[in-house]
Amino acid sequence: MSLRRPDRAHDVGNSVRIAGHFWCHGADGGVRPEPGVVAGLPWPAVDVYQYIDARPEQAAAVFIDYGLHRTYIPGVRESRVSAIVDPSTVEVDYVVAVPIVSDERYTIRNHVCTCHGGASYGVDWTHVRAGSTKATIGHVRFEQHVDARLGKRGTVMAYSNVDAGDSRGIVRRVAAEQATDRALLEKQIGVLRAALEPQRSDSP
């Protein structure tokens, strides 16, 4: 996997700083801790920044199609929604291939939110249960970004997790849907908007 920041790192500074202060209120009403700090663990989260040639809404919509995680996250054999906590919070069961030993099964609770008038999106996730995995906690943010070299508007993704994995998969997945499956992408956007509607209704 690559932990290298995109070549546009000098251009995305403002977006990354915004992402670093863009916190969702989780299902328990709490606010996420400072970036890199994971309560109860001796090691910090790994932060990855990636440019995506799409709108933040499109990128977030693809990401919360959790059943497709198995198609682009390396090592994931299965991913399926197993419980709906509320419109914006779901639990997802994963089966991950582990070399030599048996596959690992675990459940993650994901909460999606938006701010800045719908210009930015985020997903927080926390560990629910697992066989041997000790903790899985993290978040991803999708922020508007203008590529200064190309004069093109896109998204900077700020991804933070105790296990960074390979963040390039979501980039390729979004690009593939834009190119070959616009109908699926529009359906995913509809699901995202429906999940966020209660939050928007509660906004002053």
**What are 187-197's pLDDT values in tens digits?**
999 999 999 98
Give the pLDDT of residue 2: 28
Q: Is the pLDDT of residue 103 over 90?
A: no
Mean pLDDT of the chain: 77
Domain 45-202, second-level architecture:
2-Layer Sandwich (3.30)
Q: Is the pLDDT of residue 40 over 60?
A: no
Query: Which runs of consecutive H residues, i.e. helices, occur in 44-92?
Result: 56-63, 69-72
pTM above 0.85, yes or no: no
Q: Is the pLDDT of residue 198 over 50?
A: yes
Is residue 70 within 8 A of residue 78, CB to CB? The reply is yes
**Strands ordered across the beta sheet of 76-86:** 46-52, 152-161, 138-147, 120-130, 104-115, 89-96, 76-86
Q: How far is CA 154 from CA 4, 37, 161, in A?
A: 19, 28, 23
Give the pLDDT of residue 189: 97
Q: Is the pLDDT of residue 112 over 80?
A: yes
